[in-house]
């Protein structure tokens, strides 16, 4: 069928001596790359090896796939028109990346036998632990880097393979760049509360120098990380010889100043700031302001504004906590800054409403300047109405003109200039409307799906169950359901649109609602800021798809 992937990693560094090696395409195993198992104080250094992986690394990670065109709901192939991309909108799998399991956090010094064992751990999906489940995905501003956070508190950063002329088809491949433990489990002794290490959100900062910076947060604490490269190392000691043996002090007759020599590229992640002790409730969102000096963090009842340089104080800008907690009727579910106007931000609530606030008006933004709400259709009212109208994610379009919200069954696009109803509403999985009762019983109804814009704001994407994710073209009004699953995909295969049977009769290729797997949910997705490359997190797998180039 196909060639096994060349088992090696390739650095993007041009100074590398290993330019001949090929890049691993799938199932990148971070195990061999990960730092020593014992959590050590930062900076954590991640050597990026150039030598080939042990040959035992098999072909089994690659799975057969079928090809299929990008389809419209009517079944006829139709291109997804994207201003940024090319016309032919078929999506192909670029790579599937496994986030390393906890057990495989081994250092390079481990011998090969041990690594084999751990590789087999990775290969077998059933060994994925709860800690490996990806909890957030985010591209940086150029799309060169892609960060994921998981329930085990780790952040894994992938770097895009640099384009080369003879490997055009490889564009869009991402390889592991850096892995570090961002958060550790903690215990709040005053409140007798466990604080999970799960990474709730990652946000990249605009690039300010050669290093990259990102914010990561768990329920309580936001951290600012610096990810930087080092390719030089000082050499030459006065008191030691080349082998590290101590010299006799009597032989020291001249002074040596160390000289910097090139070395293998090292990527190190260093915690630069820790923003703690400002949230009583769980942090659900962080958002970097366009003024480059502040960001906000939102929990269930409050939103705080931080300066990047100051960790010991933050300003509370929204507080919806009632004096009496029994009067609590709604919570904040997500919040985001406007992409260009440093003074305005939105936050969504569990009641399905969105508030736009202007920080110029007053220091405390308790009073909103705009309030977006769609009047409820009385005919659709049911026991679940309130739960399913809760907004799980809110995102500004890149232009700053629109906001997109995701509730349980739909995605809505609002124009900032129209508060009384959304301009567009897309059904994500309306067929679940009849199954709300069972979804309530298995708690799925409380799942928080995220949603993303493409680079030109013309297409939106969001997740569903059974490893399905949905895309909606705002111009052509076409939509598609795709599946991110390892059973049916191989690299460069064109994804086949999926359909869920809604009527009584099930046609060939259709999947019945009853056979959907509700444990496989796609909550987190990301879209490259300028190209048609998407990252889809399915439990512990990260799939990267791109639209097919002719």
Partner 1 sequence: MAGAAGPGTGPGAARGDGDDSLYPIAVLIDELRNEDVQLRLNSIKKLSTIALALGVERTRTELLPFLTDTIYDEDEVLLALAEQLGNFTGLVGGPDFAHCLLPPLESLATVEETVVRDKAVESLRQISQEHTPVALEAHFVPLVKRLASGDWFTSRTSACGLFSVCYPRASNAVKAEIRQHFRSLCSDDTPMVRRAAASKLGEFAKVLELDSVKSEIVPLFTNLASDEQDSVRLLAVEACVSIAQLLSQDDLEALVMPTLRQAAEDKSWRVRYMVADKFSELQKAVGPKITLNDLIPAFQNLLKDCEAEVRAAAAHKVKELCENLPTEGRETIIMNQILPFIKELVSDTNQHVKSALASVIMGLSTILGKENTIEHLLPLFLAQLKDECPEVRLNIISNLDCVNEVIGIRQLSQSLLPAIVELAEDAKWRVRLAIIEYMPLLAGQLGVEFFDEKLNSLCMAWLVDHVYAIREAATSNLMKLVQKFGTEWAQNTIVPKVLVMANDPNYLHRMTTLFCINALSEACGQEITTKQMLPIVLKMAGDQVANVRFNVAKSLQKIGPILDTDALQEEVKPVLQKLGQDEDMDVKYFAQEAISAVAQRLTKLDFPVKDNEEPSAPGADKNHFLRPRGPGEDTGKFVPLMSRHTESERLGWFPRRQ
Instruction: State the residues that interact with partner 1 by CB under 8 A.
Output: 206-211, 213, 226, 228, 230, 232, 234, 237-240, 244, 246, 248-260, 272, 290-293, 309, 341-343, 359-363
Mark 290-319 as b/e (b = at least 16 C-beta within 10 Å). Answer: beeebbbbbbbbbbbbbebeebeebeebbe
Shortest reach from residue 236's CB to partner 1, in Å: 9
226 or 490: whose CB is closer to partner 1? 226
* Residue nearer to partner 1 on the CB measure, 8 or 316: 316
Closer residue to partner 1 in complex, CB, 237/371: 237
Shortest Cβ 263–partner 1 spacing (Å): 12
**DSSP 8-state secondary structure symbol assigned to residue 100:** P
Report in angstroms how near the CB of residue 217 gets to partner 1 at its nearest: 20
Write down the least CB distance from residue 239 to partner 1, Å.
Answer: 5
- Dihedral sign, CA of 312, 313, 319, 325? positive
245 contact partners, CB below 8 Å, separation of at least 6: none
The first and second tokens of residue 359, run together, are 């920080």
Strands 499-501 and 510-512: parallel
Q: Please report how close the Cβ of residue 59 comes to partner 1 at its closest, in angstroms.
A: 40
Q: Which is nearer to partner 1, 64 or 234 (CB)?
A: 234
222 vs 411, beta carbon nearer partner 1: 222
Sign of CA dihedral 425, 430, 432, 437: positive
Residue given tokens 């809604």 in the structure block: 502
Q: Please tell me what DSSP assigns to residue 102.
A: G
Compare residues 234 and 322 and give the one whose CB is closer to partner 1: 234
Q: How far is the CB of 106 from partner 1 (least distance, A)?
A: 21
Quickly list DSSP for 410-451: EEEEEETT--SS-SEEEES-GGGGGGHHHHHHTTGGG----E
CB of 349 to partner 1, least distance (A): 25
Contact between 335 and 285 (Cβ < 8 Å)? yes
Q: Which CB atom, from 66 or from 367, has the smaller least distance to partner 1? A: 367
How near is the Cβ of 388 to partner 1 at its closest, in Å? 38
For partner 1, give the closer residue by CB, 211 or 513. 211
> Measured in whole angstroms, how far is the alpha carbon of residue 293 from the centre of its chain?
23
Distance CA 93, CA 495 (A): 7
As measured in angstroms, the least distance from the Cβ of 209 to partner 1 is 4
Nearer to partner 1, 309 or 441 (CB): 309
CA distance 156 to 29: 12
Is there a contact between 291 and 307 (Cβ–Cβ < 8 Å)?
A: no
If the CB atoms of residues 74 and 251 are measured against partner 1, the closer one turns out to be 251
Residue 472 CB, nearest approach to partner 1 (Å)? 32
User: Minimal distance in Å, beta carbon 54 to partner 1?
Assistant: 28
Rank residues 293 and 487 by Cβ distance to partner 1 and give the closer one. Answer: 293
Shortest distance, CB of residue 316 to partner 1, whole angstroms? 13
Label residues 134-166 b or e (16+ Cβ within 10 Å = b).
bbbbbbbeebbbbbbbbbbbbbbbbbbbeeeee
Which residue in 400, 519, 522, 515 sits closest to 451, CA to CA? 522
Token readout for 109 is 């010094």
Question: What Å distances lie between residue 435 and 25, 386, 430, 441, CA to CA?
Answer: 39, 16, 10, 10
Element of type H or E holding 145: strand 145-150
Of 323 and 363, nearer to partner 1 (C-beta) is: 363
Rounded CA-CA distance 6/351 in Å is 51
């Amino acid at each position: 069928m196909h060639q096994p992937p060349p088992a090696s990693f390739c650095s993007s560094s041009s100074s590398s001596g290993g330019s001949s090696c090929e890049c691993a395409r799938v199932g990148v195993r971070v195990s061999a790359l990960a730092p020593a198992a014992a959590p050590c104080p930062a900076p954590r250094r991640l050597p990026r090896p150039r030598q080939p992986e042990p040959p035992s690394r098999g072909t089994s990670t690659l799975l057969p796939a079928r090809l299929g065109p990008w389809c419209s709901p009517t079944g006829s192939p139709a291109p997804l028109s994207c201003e940024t991309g090319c016309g032919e909108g078929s999506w192909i799998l670029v790579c599937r990346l496994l986030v390393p399991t906890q057990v495989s956090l081994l250092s390079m010094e481990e011998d090969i036998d041990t690594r084999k064992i751990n590789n087999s751990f990775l290969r077998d999906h059933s060994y994925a632990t709860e800690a490996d489940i990806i909890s957030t995905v985010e591209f940086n501003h150029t799309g060169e880097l892609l960060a994921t956070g998981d329930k085990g508190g780790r952040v894994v950063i992938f770097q895009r393979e640099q384009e080369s002329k003879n490997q055009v088809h490889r564009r869009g491949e991402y390889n592991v760049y850096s892995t570090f433990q961002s958060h550790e489990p903690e215990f709040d002794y005053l409140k007798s509360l466990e604080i999970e290490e799960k990474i709730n959100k990652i946000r990249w900062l605009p690039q300010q120098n050669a290093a990259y910076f990102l914010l990561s947060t768990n329920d309580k604490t936001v951290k600012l990380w610096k990810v930087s490269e080092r390719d030089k190392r000082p050499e030459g000691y006065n008191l030691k010889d080349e082998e590290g043996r101590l010299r006799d002090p009597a032989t020291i007759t001249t002074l040596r100043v160390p000289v910097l020599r090139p070395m293998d590229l090292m990527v190190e992640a260093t915690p630069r700031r820790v923003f703690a002790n400002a949230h009583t409730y769980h942090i659900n969102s962080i958002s970097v302001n366009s003024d480059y000096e502040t960001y906000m963090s939102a929990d269930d009842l409050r939103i705080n504004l931080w300066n990047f340089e100051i960790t010991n104080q933050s300003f509370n800008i929204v507080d919806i906590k009632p004096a009496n907690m029994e009067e609590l009727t709604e919570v904040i579910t997500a919040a985001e800054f406007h992409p260009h106007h440093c003074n305005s931000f939105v936050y969504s609530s569990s009641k399905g409403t969105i508030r736009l606030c202007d920080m110029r008006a007053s220091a405390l933004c308790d009073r909103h300047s705009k309030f977006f709400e769609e009047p409820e259709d009385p005919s659709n009212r049911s026991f679940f109405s309130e739960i399913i109208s809760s907004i799980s994610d809110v995102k500004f379009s890149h232009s700053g003109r629109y906001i997109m919200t995701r509730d349980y069954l739909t995605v809505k696009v609002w124009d900032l200039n129209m508060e009384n109803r959304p301009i567009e509403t897309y059904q994500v999985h309306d067929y679940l409307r009849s199954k709300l009762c069972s979804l309530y019983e298995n708690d799925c109804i409380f799942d928080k799906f995220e949603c993303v814009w493409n680079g030109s704001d013309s297409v939106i994407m969001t997740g569903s169950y059974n490893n399905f994710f949905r895309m909606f073209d705002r111009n052509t009004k076409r939509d598609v359901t795709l599946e991110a699953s390892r059973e049916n995909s191989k690299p460069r295969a064109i994804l086949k649109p999926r359909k869920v049977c809604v009527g009584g009769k099930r046609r060939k290729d259709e999947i019945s609602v009853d056979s959907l797997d509700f444990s496989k949910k796609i909550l987190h997705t990301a879209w490259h800021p300028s190209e048609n490359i998407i990252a889809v997190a399915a439990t512990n797998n990260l799939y990267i798809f791109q639209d097919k180039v002719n």
